[in-house]
Amino acid sequence: MTLQEFFAANPKVAVGFSGGVDSAYLLYMAKQYAKEVKAYYVKSCFQPEFELEDATRLAEEIGAELKILNVSVLDDPVVRSNPPDRCYYCKQKIFGTILAAAKEDGFPVLLDGTNASDQEADRPGFRALKELSVLSPLREAGLTKEEIRMRSKEAGLFTWNKPAYACLATRIAANETITEESLAATERAEMFLFGLGFTDIRVRSMNGHARIEVPEREIVRAVENRKLITETLRNDFKTVSLDLEERERKR
């Protein structure tokens, strides 16, 4: 099934919109082919501020209606306790909230940006999406991440080369309680590193210790800036270390 065929069969849709590459392209295509579409962005302590800025900018550029929903994800004790399948419970809360808002607004079908490159076995959140009957047209159309980036570039979407950026909760070690403070510390650290020119980074928090992951091509730069990085991150973390494995192989 092509995206055109999907939207012909589903002319009125809501899009769970994160501001990332996949959901941006999905929203763009929905604007082209669906009769009516509305985007929903969930604002929580799991998303850095720049994601909302990107989502707002993209929606404005393509003329899509955007609704921002505030969700207190840490109100759920299971999500806060951060089990290995935390993503399942988090997706239930986030997409459950979007689904309720979309139905209230008159949108019977909810979509997400899962693509054909996403491995279902690695994502507990897939189960939640299935249970909530969320549809993934990019995946149904067989579009991979690479193809979506290429098509986004052709469409002139600024998100086409945006690095993947999983939610901040993925930085906290499994079974370590997630707090707003630990998420904020991680966001400050990553924004600082972005400010130094790093393009695709993660700062993993492990019981108050920071482990930095960067692409192989940027490891030398990290070492060269070791003193500045360490001094800055030590404001929030007990110790700071650099992971020498390739960042490209991690989420």
Say whether pLDDT at 190 is over 60.
Answer: yes
Range of lowest pLDDT (1-5, 123-127, 172-176, 213-217) = 123-127
Domain boundaries, the chain: 3-161, 179-249
> CB under 8 Å to 229, separation ≥6 — which residues?
192, 193, 196, 212, 222, 240
Q: Which of 113, 119, 117, 143 is nearest to 40 (CA)?
A: 113
- Model confidence at 231, pLDDT cuts 50, 70, 90, reads very high
Mean pLDDT over 147-155 rounds to 96
Q: What fold, for 179-249?
A: Alpha-Beta Plaits (3.30.70)
Q: Which of 2, 48, 8, 23 is nearest to 134 (CA)?
A: 23
pLDDT above 90 coverage of the chain, percent: 85
Over residues 15-51, the pLDDT tens digits come to 999 999 999 999 999 999 999 999 999 999 999 999 9
Long-range contacts of 185-190 (CB under 8 A, 24+ apart): 185/236, 185/237, 187/48, 187/49, 188/236, 189/232, 189/233, 189/236, 189/237, 190/48
How many Cβ atoms from other residues are within 10 Å of residue 249's Cβ? 8
Q: 3-161 belongs to which homologous superfamily?
A: HUPs (3.40.50.620)
- Model confidence at 249, pLDDT cuts 50, 70, 90, reads very low
Say whether pLDDT at 61 is over 70.
Answer: yes
Q: In terms of pLDDT, which residue wins out, 67 or 249?
A: 67
- Model confidence at 122, pLDDT cuts 50, 70, 90, reads low
Q: Residue 15: beta bridge partners?
A: 39, 111
Say whether pLDDT at 120 is over 70.
Answer: no
φ/ψ (deg, to 5) at 66:
-125, 130
Over residues 63-110, the pLDDT tens digits come to 999 999 999 999 999 999 999 999 999 999 999 999 999 999 999 999
This model's pTM is above 0.85: yes
Say whether pLDDT at 121 is over 60.
Answer: no
Say whether pLDDT at 251 is over 60.
Answer: no
- Model confidence at 11, pLDDT cuts 50, 70, 90, reads very high
pLDDT of residue 14: 98
Say whether pLDDT at 250 is over 60.
Answer: no
Q: In terms of pLDDT, which residue wins out, 251 or 238?
A: 238
Say whether pLDDT at 128 is over 90.
Answer: no
pLDDT of residue 127: 87
pLDDT above 70 coverage of the chain, percent: 96
Amino acid at 218: E
